[in-house]
Amino acid sequence: MYETILVATDGSDPANRAVEYALDLAASRGAVVHAISVVDTGRYGEPALSTTEIVVDDLEDFARELLADIEERAEARDVEFVAECCHGEPHETIVEYAEEIDADLTLLGRHGASRTGHHIGSVANRVVSHSDRPVQLV
């Protein structure tokens, strides 16, 4: 049923739960896990020679560290893994990447690192609203 699972991560606790769920599900089904971490350039703009560039570079480094950690956990479970670090609007980038890889399921934490007190975060809500593919919030 699931051959390609996409999990989006920002390093938050809910995202980490989604990652664990994705890896467990993939291990039990023989699926491939694609993990994506999106540097929100909508918030900061595209990097230029400024402090924005430094902030975006730091966020990209953080995203790559997250993905490297997930790769280690995937290898420990003998799960095929693909990492993708992107720049863009998180919800748009996640939906587009899910379509690009023909994801059977997209997993996200129910809210992310910038939780504002809502039960479902804005990125999760937008992915659910805009995706034509199955999405599960963890």
- H helices present in the chain, as ranges: 13-29, 41-44, 51-76, 90-100, 122-130
Tokens of 32: 């491939």
Give pLDDT, residue 58.
86
Average pLDDT over residues 98-119: 81
> Could you tell me the pLDDT band of residue 130, with boundaries at 50, 70 and 90?
very high
Residue 44 amino acid letter: Y
The whole model's pTM is what? 0.89
**DSSP classification of residue 114:** T
CA dist., res. 103 & res. 111, Å (int): 21
Query: 21: helix, coil or strand?
Result: helix
Average pLDDT over residues 97-126: 83
Residue-range domains of the chain with CATH: 4-131 (3.40.50.620)
Using left for φ > 0, alpha for ψ between -120 and 50, and beta otherwise, residue 81 falls in beta
pLDDT tens-place string over residues 15-39 = 999 999 999 999 999 999 999 999 9
